[in-house]
């Protein structure tokens, strides 16, 4: 795999708010325009557009139209959640490298009509969820609380370990003016947090917001003439198991990354020790715990100590979620992690800049499915 003929050249986003009072289409158009402005391109330069969604989003066709494009050569919507972020970007890179499009926009938007943590209206549920919903078991915090409990049972991990992950991200978010939650928390604060679905407290769960984020990808050649240093995707890997059904996964102490990580490191020739910044998908604190182990940053059951000892922050081994992640910056379904990685590798992250950041791991997804991309500040 070689994605290095492609580069991320532009990044854009809206404010992240609890309630914007705006449509998804309006938010997406703003983020895409911001990403184009960032690199000095215009809508006339865009010949590809893609997003992932669970049927909730302004479609690529409508967003292209909304920013004034009348002829879009490559428009691809993927029905998926955060598991597909790496896939979508790798597909966009492949489209650029193979000449299906020269300049591709990737975006994700969430508006107030989408909140995954609760189901408040009467529903009939089909598919595998018909066996779960009637038990009052239907939303992602419940699925992953099951996983976290299993890890606690098998490896002796604790709520304090999950708290160490939440605290690390919140401390980072204090340096991020764009984050929705910026007040640092102590372990006491964490433990005093409302228990939502045991073993998850409120601080274990992503902070759902309204907002949109967009990236612009183009050829490495064209990138050289644009405004900012190019950031190159240098490898990607995915895995889906158990048909994407969280309850059916054979070992809930590990995630998709158990299978995707060896693939990623083999394709890139890298190892965890090479990574400067790790934007870890964190729909829940436990997602970081399980995937951090799977990607090989530490052994099973060691994540709590790793974070408590300062190894996941500035001056440590790798800075995990300098922006605060989905837990504290806001739940943009993981595309905001890519925005942060690009900012860090450009050296433009301001007060939260990771010194000399050259390689960033960005993970996507949780449970039985997901993937990752490694970005480099240099074309290999």
Partner 1 sequence: MNASQGPAVDRSALRPPQPAPDVDTAPFWEATASGHLSICRCQQCGLWLQPPLERCRRCAASTAFEPVSGDGTVSTFIIQRQPAVVGFFDKVPYAVALVDLAEQPGLRLPGRIVDIDPDDVAIGMRARARIDALAGGDFHLPVFVPVD
Angle at 290 between CA 347 and CA 341, to 5 degrees: 15
CA distance 104 to 110: 20
Token pair for 49: 């557009």
Contact 366, 255 (CB under 8 A): yes
CA distance 99 to 36: 20
Contact segment (CB under 8 A) with partner 1 among 9-17, 179-187, 247-255, 346-354 equals 247-255
Contact 290, 255 (CB under 8 A): yes
Sign of CA dihedral 161, 118, 89, 265: positive
Q: What is the footprint of partner 1 within residues 93-112 (CB under 8 A)?
A: none
Q: What is the footprint of partner 1 within residues 23-42 (CB under 8 A)?
A: none
Question: Which of the following is catalytic: 281, 295, 339, 375?
Answer: 281
Please report whether residue 122 would count as binding partner 1 according to CB under 8 A.
yes
CA distance 279 to 369: 17
Contact segment (CB under 8 A) with partner 1 among 164-172, 190-198, 263-271, 353-361 equals 190-198
CA distance 259 to 159: 26
Please report whether residue 192 would count as binding partner 1 according to CB under 8 A.
no
- Reduced to 3 states (helix: H, G, I; strand: E, B; else coil), residue 380 is coil
Question: Least separation, in Å, of the C-beta of 181 and partner 1?
Answer: 18
Report which of 144, 155, 280 is spatially closest to residue 204, judged by C-alpha positions. 144
CA distance 78 to 57: 11
Q: What is the DSSP letter of 319?
A: E
Which one, 14 or 252, has the nearer CB to partner 1?
A: 252
Which one, 2 or 251, has the nearer CB to partner 1?
A: 251
- Total site size for partner 1, rule CB under 8 A: 41
What's the start-to-end Cα distance of the chain, in Å? Answer: 12
What does the per-residue mask of binding to partner 1 show for 128-157, with x meaning CB under 8 A?
x-xxxxxxxxxx-xx--xxx-xx--x----
Question: Least separation, in Å, of the C-beta of 118 and partner 1?
Answer: 5
Question: Least separation, in Å, of the C-beta of 284 and partner 1?
Answer: 12
Q: Which of 121, 188, 273, 315 binds partner 1 (CB under 8 A)?
A: 121
Question: Least separation, in Å, of the C-beta of 131 and partner 1?
Answer: 6
Question: Least separation, in Å, of the C-beta of 121 and partner 1?
Answer: 6
Instruction: Give yes or no: 295 in active site.
Output: no
User: What are the CA-CA distances from residue 217 to residues 223, 339, 358 (Å)?
Assistant: 9, 12, 19
Which one, 150 or 182, has the nearer CB to partner 1?
A: 150
Question: Least separation, in Å, of the C-beta of 314 and partner 1?
Answer: 34
φ, ψ (nearest 5 deg) of residue 80? -170, 165
φ, ψ (nearest 5 deg) of residue 183? -85, 120
Contact segment (CB under 8 A) with partner 1 among 97-105, 240-248, 318-326, 329-337 equals 240-248
Q: Which of 44, 61, 192, 248 binds partner 1 (CB under 8 A)?
A: 248
- Reduced to 3 states (helix: H, G, I; strand: E, B; else coil), residue 215 is strand
Please report whether residue 250 would count as binding partner 1 according to CB under 8 A.
yes
Question: Least separation, in Å, of the C-beta of 18 and partner 1?
Answer: 18
Kind of pairing, strands 6-13 and 211-219? antiparallel
Q: Which of 119, 192, 224, 266 binds partner 1 (CB under 8 A)?
A: 119
> What are the residue numbers of the active site?
281, 331
Question: Which residue ranges make up the site for partner 1 (CB under 8 A)?
Answer: 117-128, 130-139, 141-142, 145-147, 149-150, 153, 194-199, 245, 247-248, 250, 252
């Amino acid at each position: 795999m070689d994605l290095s003929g492609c580069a991320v050249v532009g990044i854009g986003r809206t404010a992240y708010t609890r309630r914007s009072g705006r449509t998804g289409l309006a938010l997406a158009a703003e983020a895409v325009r911001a990403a184009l402005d960032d690199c000095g391109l215009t809508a006339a330069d865009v010949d590809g557009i893609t997003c992932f969604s669970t049927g909730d989003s302004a479609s690529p066709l409508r967003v292209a139209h909304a920013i004034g494009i009348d002829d879009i050569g490559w428009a691809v919507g993927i029905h998926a959640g955060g598991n597909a972020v790496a896939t979508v970007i790798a597909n966009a890179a492949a489209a650029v490298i193979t000449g299906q499009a020269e300049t591709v926009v990737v975006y994700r938007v969430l508006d107030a009509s989408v909140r995954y943590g609760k189901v408040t209206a009467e529903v009939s549920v089909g598919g595998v969820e018909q066996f779960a919903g009637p038990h009052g078991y239907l939303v992602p915090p419940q699925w992953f609380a099951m996983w976290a409990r299993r890890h606690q049972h098998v490896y002796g991990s604790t709520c304090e370990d999950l708290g160490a992950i939440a605290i690390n991200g919140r401390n980072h978010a204090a340096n991020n003016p764009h984050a929705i939650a910026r007040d640092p928390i102590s372990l006491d604060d964490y433990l005093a947090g409302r228990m939502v679905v045991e073993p998850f407290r409120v601080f274990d769960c992503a902070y759902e917001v309204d907002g949109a984020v967009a990236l612009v990808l183009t050829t490495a050649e064209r990138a050289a003439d644009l405004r900012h240093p190019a950031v190159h995707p240098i490898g990607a890997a995915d895995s889906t198991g158990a048909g994407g059904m969280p309850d059916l996964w054979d070992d809930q102490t590990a995630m998709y990354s158990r299978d995707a990580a060896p693939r990623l490191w083999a394709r890139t020739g890298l190892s965890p020790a090479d990574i400067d910044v790790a934007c870890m998908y964190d729909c829940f604190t436990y997602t970081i715990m399980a995937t951090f182990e799977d990607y090989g940053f530490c052994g099973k059951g060691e994540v709590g100590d790793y974070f408590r000892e300062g190894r996941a922050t500035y001056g440590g081994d790798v800075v995990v979620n300098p922006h605060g992640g989905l837990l504290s910056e806001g739940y943009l379904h993981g595309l905001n992690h890519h925005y942060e990685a690009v900012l860090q590798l450009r050296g433009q992250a301001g007060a939260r800049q990771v010194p000399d950041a050259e390689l960033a791991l960005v993970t996507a997804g949780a449970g039985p499915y997901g993937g990752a991309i490694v970005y480099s500040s240099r074309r290999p």
